[in-house]
Amino acid sequence: MQDWIETHAAAIAARAPRELEALVAVSSPSGDIDGAEECVALATAFMPAEAAIERIECSTPDHAADLVGRLTGTGARRLLLLGHLDTVVHHGAHRPVTRDGDRLTGSGVVDMKGGVAIALGLMRELAGRPELYAELAILLVNDEEWRTAPFIHAERFGSFDACLCFEGGERTAEGHEAVIVKRKAAATLRVNAFGRSSHSGSAPELGRSALLALATTAQRVASHNDPAGPDRLTAVPTILRSGDAFNVVPAAGELLCDLRADRLEAFAPVYTALPTELDDVRLETEMVRAWPGLDSREATADVLAAASERLGRRIVGSERGGASDASHVAAGGIACTIDGLGPLGGGAHTPDEWVSAESLEARAEVARALAEVVLGA
């Protein structure tokens, strides 16, 4: 490894655990404005003093404004660092950071406040190298975990040369550092059913069951599941809600299904195959959200090779099924988009979410090497 990578990564890692602890101490589920504002204040304090701070409209209405920090330099290229401050954990289940050996456990440590801590540290280190870039920006959003509105920031940063996104990191089975350069497209399909209630004991024949109509619809959605097919489509019913009493034919209900595929277009046959009525139960179907996929393998192959040489260990482009804002940014024009630069860990969205403290420095080394390469140093 080149000495300057090791030196700067060590500086990032020295502060990262404390900054991660501070960020995780704030409960910030998606949509909670007070929690978001407190996290924004902390992230702003952790930015370099030279950064120009801007608050920009969030993609999701009634959310706290997103945070942008910018550094200007004398170089030629522009780099975006990307992350989010919201979590899926509600206030009652929130856990601050606790440490057991190398393991840091807490709500949002891997998804993705650990990655945010590394990104902020990288920005501070690059503040001392303005000759490397024309502009370095960090974008931290407050609605990534449950956004159904369109992502509105892609055009703003579409002319940047590269994007590094700091979702949780990973290593290959062989122990190589891995980053994410391919993700599936993702969509949430919702079906609302409107039938007719009646007493389930004395007059069930007068009712029109929303529950049964949705159960049939769920089976139709699942029949499209084809993970070995050309688009690797998965169509999985995940939530069915219907009925308020055990002795009443349910008149209304809701079905949610998770769709994943290599292309957004692969979801259309699932949507169009669903009827508008079943057994006199009216069905209304909509795509609640649709996120594009990510495939930057070709655009990043040379970058990963050059960064591996500087790092002294291999960086491998990998694939992940989960959705990420990196996909929106890539679709908006930044072909060289690399995700998965956060620390190693697991248990995202669960009470036992954790990261490896040791990996904070290792992943900072990966991020620093990649930043130097994409900036043409």
Check pLDDT > 80 for residue 1: no
Residue 117, pLDDT above cutoff 80: yes
User: What are 85-95's pLDDT values in tens digits?
Assistant: 999 999 999 99
Q: What is the mean pLDDT of residues 74-82?
A: 98
Quote the domain boundaries for residue 237: 185-290
Q: How far apart are CA 305 and CA 310, in angstroms?
A: 9
Return the pLDDT at 134. Answer: 98
345 pLDDT more than 80: yes
**Same domain, yes or no: 171 and 29:** yes
pLDDT digits (tens, 9 = 90+) for 278-316: 999 999 999 999 999 999 999 999 999 999 999 999 999
Q: What is the pLDDT of residue 302?
A: 98
**Mean pLDDT to the nearest integer, 170-192:** 97
pLDDT, average across residues 193-218: 97
Q: Has residue 322 got a pLDDT over 90? A: no
Q: How many domains does the chain have?
A: 2
Side-chain half-sphere CA neighbours of 335 within 13 A = 7
How many helices (H) and strands (E) in the chain? 9, 19
**Percent of all residues in the chain with a pLDDT value above 70, rounded to a whole number:** 100
Q: Which tokens sit at 149? A: 């509105």
The Cα-based distances of 18 to 98, 121, 133, 361 in angstroms read 12, 12, 28, 13
Structure tokens at 252: 């209304």
pLDDT for res 221: 98
Average pLDDT of every residue of the chain = 96
Instruction: Please tell me the distance from the alpha carbon of residue 57 to that of residue 142, in angstroms, as a whole number.
Output: 10
pLDDT confidence of residue 3 = 81
CA distance 373 to 163: 12
The pLDDT confidence band at residue 4, using thresholds 50, 70 and 90, is confident
Q: Residue 275 has what DSSP assignment?
A: -
Cβ neighbourhood burial of 110 (10 Å; 0-12, 13-18, 19+): buried
Assess whether 263 and 158 both reside in one domain: no
CB contact burial 273-301 (16+ within 10 A = b; e otherwise): ebeeebeebebebebebbbbbbbbeebbe
Residues 44 and 167 in one domain: yes
Cis peptide before 112 (omega within 30 of 0): yes
Is 118 in the same domain as 27? yes
pLDDT value for 30: 96
Residues 102 and 159 in one domain: yes
pLDDT, average across residues 15-19 = 97
| Amino acid 2: pLDDT | 77
Statement to judge: residues 41 and 106 lie in one domain:
yes
Rounded mean pLDDT, 73-83: 98
What number is the average pLDDT over the span 201-210? 97
What is the spatial distance between Cα 4 and Cα 49, in angstroms, rounded to a whole number?
22
The whole-number average pLDDT for the span 237-249 is 97
What value does the mean pLDDT take over residues 243-261? Answer: 97
Hunting for tokens 């655990």 — which residue is that?
A: 17
Q: What is the pLDDT of residue 287?
A: 95
Same domain? For 266 and 345 the reply is no
Whole-number pLDDT of residue 321: 85
Together in a domain, 166 and 203: no
Same domain? 161 vs 237: no
Q: What's the CATH number where 360 sits?
A: 3.40.630.10
Last residue of a domain, one of 236, 259, 290: 290
Joined together, the tokens standing for residue 324 give 């990420």
Q: Which of 271, 290, 309 is the last residue of a domain?
A: 290
Using the 3D structure, point to which of 290, 321, 344 is the last residue of a domain. Answer: 290
Q: What is the pLDDT of residue 258?
A: 97
Model confidence pTM above 0.85: yes
Mean pLDDT (whole number) for 112-141: 97
What is the predicted pLDDT for the residue at 363?
97
- Token couple for 224: 């499209």
Q: What angle do CA 190, 192, 196 make, to 5 degrees?
A: 165
List the one residue out of 57, 66, 186, 84 whose CA is nearest residue 144: 84
Same-domain check for residues 175 and 192: no
- The angle that helices 114-127 and 357-374 make with each other, rounded to 10 degrees, is 50
Q: Are residue 366 and residue 323 in the same domain, yes or no?
A: yes
